[in-house]
Structure 1
Amino acid sequence: MATPENHEDPNERPPVIGPEHDEGQGPRRRDFLNIAAVAFAGVGGAAVLIPLVNQMNPSADVLALASIEVDISKIESGSGIKVSWRKQPVFVRNLTPKEIAEADAVPVSSLRDPETLEQRTKPGHKNWLITLGVCTHLGCVPLGISPEENRGPYGGYFCPCHGSQYDTAARIRGGPAPKNLFVPEYAFKSPTTVQIG
């Protein structure tokens, strides 16, 4: 007579051990295919994104205009030059001691856009005023970079479009312009060379 421990049921099947139960056998073919597909998609995505992102970089001609060097050795006191930077005019003006004194004599509290001449120039180079030559009202180019041009009642710049008047520190003193002429980033590379931008 068979004991219960040895009794085998003919209807009972042995447990099936499938791939999910393979222990200790390492990666399977399906795992390799999944990893290969993800890696292929990643490389393909990078191949598409790199040119897309690269085309958004500035072109060589734009990078060349990012900064310019200006020779200031020939600009006489009381005069200035107009240069182009990023397709905008920039005024580089060599102020006279009289023009500096006039700018310093103005009470800052009386200005629409309060700034001192020291804030608008570099230390040790107070006579060099560098501003964008674009009126802050509607973007016209003011007159006054050379002594022969109309500099307005404050001796700085005069905008012929709507009558904005700037003083010798290019600060707004009259007319509709709300702000002073903008001072771009610049640095003196030598006593006779200025880098703008």
Structure 2
Amino acid sequence: MAEIAKPAHGSGGDHDGETRRDFLILAAGAMTVVGGAAAVWPLIDALNPAADVLALASIEVDVSPVEVGQAITVTWRGKPVFIRHRTAEEIEEARAVPMEDLIDPATDESRVVEAPWLVMVGICTHLGCVPLGQKPSEPKGEYGGWFCPCHGSHYDTSGRIRKGPAPLNLVVPEYAFDDETTITIG
């Protein structure tokens, strides 16, 4: 029987076909990746916040009408934010609490930017209820701060959890004073 002669490795034949095939596979793979990214990008971009949501990312609050001992509630990102102009007694009481008495230890100084003003998100850290205590007629709980009647969480004059099922203090959002009477939250 006669043998079929195969061309030498470097003489063209199968080697050129493999080189072209490798290039076509690589080019097709690259185009698939680019095409996939182009198809997915609009979906990813749609997950970005809308312009109206970005507008609510920060708010300015004029606190000049809030007298010592009074509190206001503003809405930021759909959540109530409590702003209280605390009395000297409330500040002194908050700072006198030993850290070992707190469920979620935090100093009063770490929770405020300027001492008489306390700014925090007014949502109970247990199940998301809105605690009472912003209005003079509302119960303030056993520690003179806020009280969540749904499950009995008591917060002190610094918004720290003192009694009840809530595991954490009321959240302090990022905020800064633009001047003596304007606070920017967010």
TM range (shorter): 0.7 to 0.9
Q: Which residue of 1 aligns with 2:138?
A: 149
User: How far apart, in 2, do the equivalents of 1:45 and 1:175 lie?
Assistant: 52
C-alpha change, 1:31 and 1:21, in structure 2 (3 Å) is closer
**In the alignment, is residue 104 of structure 1 matched against residue 95 of structure 2?**
yes
Q: Which residue of 1 aligns with 2:12?
A: 18
**In the alignment, is residue 83 of structure 1 matched against residue 81 of structure 2?**
no
User: How far apart, in 1, do the equivalents of 2:147 and 2:23 lie?
Assistant: 75
Q: Which amino acid aligns with 1:193?
A: T
Q: Which amino acid aligns with 1:91?
A: F
Q: By how many angstroms is 1:52 displaced?
A: 2.2
Flag the structure with larger Rg.
Answer: 1
User: How far apart, in 2, do the equivalents of 1:110 and 1:42 lie?
Assistant: 58
C-alpha change, 1:34 and 1:97, in structure 2 (3 Å) is same
Query: What secondary structure is seen at the aligned counterpart in 2 of 1:151?
Result: coil
Q: Which amino acid aligns with 1:161?
A: C
Q: Which residue of 1 aligns with 2:105?
A: 114
Deviation string 1:129-148 (CA, Å, 9 cap, x unpaired) is: 11111112222111111223
Query: What secondary structure is seen at the aligned counterpart in 2 of 1:49?
Result: helix
Q: Which residue of 2 aligns with 1:136?
A: 125
Q: Percent identity?
A: 60
Q: What is the root-mean-square deviation of aligned Cα atoms in Å? A: 2.7
**In the alignment, is residue 93 of structure 1 matched against residue 84 of structure 2?**
yes
Q: Which residue of 2 aligns with 1:168?
A: 157
Q: By how many angstroms is 1:99 displaced?
A: 0.8
Q: Which residue of 1 aligns with 2:185?
A: 196
Structure 2 alignment gaps of length 5 or more: none
With normalisation by structure 2, the TM-score equals 0.81
Deviation string 1:11-58 (CA, Å, 9 cap, x unpaired) is: xx9x79537789xxxxx9989977875665454334213212211212
C-alpha change, 1:29 and 1:185, in structure 2 (3 Å) is same
With normalisation by structure 1, the TM-score equals 0.77
Q: Which residue of 2 aligns with 1:126?
A: 115
Q: Give the number of aligned pairs.
A: 180
User: How far apart, in 1, do the equivalents of 2:96 and 2:132 lie?
Assistant: 23
User: Is 1:65–1:85's contact at 8 Å kept on the other side of the alignment?
Assistant: yes
User: Is 1:78–1:147's contact at 8 Å kept on the other side of the alignment?
Assistant: no
Structure 1 alignment gaps of length 5 or more: 1-12, 23-27
Q: By how many angstroms is 1:61 displaced?
A: 2.2
